[in-house]
Structure 1
Amino acid sequence: MAGRTRHLMAALCLAASGGRASAEPVHDGQLWINTTLFGSIGDAAFFAEVQPRFGTGISQIDQLILRPAVGWKVDQTLTLYQGYASVETHSAGNGVRTEDRSFQEVNWKIGELSGVKAASRTRFEQRWQSSGRDVGFRLREQLRFAMPLTEEKDSVSAIGWTELFVALNDTDWGARAGFDRIRSFVGLELPIGGASTVEVGYLNQTARTTASGVAVDHILSLNLFVRN
């Protein structure tokens, strides 16, 4: 009986340690480069974005995103967009997976308090992936804060934002309803002429994986925003 008890306890300990190991986050260092062109003609607005993302210790391209959108300026603080995104995801051993997204977006300049400018971006996505037939629905909400570091007109600004992703349904290609991921960014916004800017900083992404684990990405984020 004592021998059986020892074997049972050993099995339980092994299972418990294996469970803890599988629940440990997987960390990766990445580099994301983004170029976005913004423009408007009267009340009509548009943007076009190209974003390569390099992962696995910045040793290979993980994703390439092309994302154009057209919209309408309701007023000086509110703009509505309809857009499309083409996403290529590269993974070792699984080749290239493609995704098509339609999305609706609301951009709102909330206002300014004590020199800190606040803005909101709400995006609703409809997602189709080459590895399944289901349509995935996802809601994204970003809150962004910017504070000029000097009183000069073209001042460098400190930037911080966070964006929460929530999947609204399960799909046959791996999406699970509920928390999908959260991104948080801290960095600097540098004016480069006119209304155009460069943003550089640290981006943290914590995501739920299809295997019910957690992936944590530590990202050097470089962004060029060209505005006419």
Structure 2
Amino acid sequence: MTGRARLLLAALCLAVSGGQAEAETVQDGQLWINTTLFGSIGDLAFFAEVQPRIGNGISQLDQLILRPAVGWKINERLTLYQGYASVEDRGGAGRVRFEDRSFQEINWKIGEISGVKVSSRTRFEQRWQSAGRDVGFRLRENLRFARPLTPEKDSVSAVGWVEAFVALNDTDWGARAGFDRVRTFVGLEWPIGGTSTVEVGYLNQTARTAASGTEVDHILSLNLSVRN
């Protein structure tokens, strides 16, 4: 084999191995704790949410999200919200990023199908990050299914939901148009007085990374919803 052929073969092997490393799947175990206060005064609705997300094998705080919103109840099944989210992201190699989000949300109680309660949440986000100057636009759609396990009014319910995220444009801080991530949850929901609930279960998040690879997070999800 000539010297030129050896160099060509070495370059080809390096390119293939580099492509494989770039596209590899990264996995992590995480704990997400979400506390949300819901309320209403007449047709005026509001919620306020605090969510720490602990990652890297449940060893460090990766993200902290504060998310308040106010809205209007169109009827008992449909509510529109305008909200704001403050996001502190510590997941990147020693770097802390801050993100501001404005969002519009449609909450729709679709109805009951064969004993399963179906609801939808559609959210349109405008995102500003400290790592760049562009505004990122993202659309999120969540479909939730809940079925009481017994006929009693305060029954524990089996819950499942799926949420798809689609980025609508590229940004200078890393967002790329197209599929962003998908989250899938299965678990149980317990009533804890009135209409307040605790939801516990497994959440899988599969996301596209900036390096054209895939990140899969296996998450223990704990959600407390306090309703007045």
Aligned residue in 2 for 1:56:
56
Residue 113 of structure 1 aligns to which amino acid in structure 2?
A: I
Q: CA deviation at 1:3?
A: 7.3
**Offset from partner CA, 1:134-181 (integer Å, 9 cap, x none):** 111000000000011111100000000000000111111111111111
Question: TM-score by structure 1 length?
Answer: 0.95
Unaligned residue ranges in structure 1 (runs of 5+): none
**Offset from partner CA, 1:35-62 (integer Å, 9 cap, x none):** 0000001111000000000000011000
Q: CA deviation at 1:24?
A: 1.6
Superposed CA RMSD: 1.5
Aligned residue in 2 for 1:138:
138
Residue 95 of structure 1 aligns to which amino acid in structure 2?
A: R
Q: Partners in 2 of 1:2 and 1:160 — Cα distance?
A: 61
Q: Partners in 2 of 1:91 and 1:186 — Cα distance?
A: 25
Residue 184 of structure 1 aligns to which amino acid in structure 2?
A: T
Aligned pairs for 1:125-164 within 5 A: 125-164=125-164
Would you say how many aligned residue pairs link Structure 1 and Structure 2?
228
User: Which portions of structure 1, spanning 4 or more consecutive aligned residues, are displaced by more than 4 angstroms?
Assistant: 1-11
Aligned residue in 2 for 1:23:
23
Q: Partners in 1 of 2:5 and 2:193 — Cα distance?
A: 74
Q: Partners in 2 of 1:59 and 1:17 — Cα distance?
A: 31
Q: CA deviation at 1:16?
A: 2.3
Q: CA deviation at 1:128?
A: 0.6
Aligned pairs for 1:25-174 within 5 A: 25-91=25-91, 93-174=93-174
Aligned residue in 2 for 1:183:
183
Q: CA deviation at 1:220?
A: 0.3
Q: Partners in 1 of 2:27 and 2:93 — Cα distance?
A: 19
Identical positions, percent: 81
Q: Partners in 1 of 2:2 and 2:89 — Cα distance?
A: 53
**Offset from partner CA, 1:17-38 (integer Å, 9 cap, x none):** 4322321210000000000000
Residue 47 of structure 1 aligns to which amino acid in structure 2?
A: F
Q: Partners in 1 of 2:211 and 2:190 — Cα distance?
A: 40
Q: CA deviation at 1:13?
A: 4.0
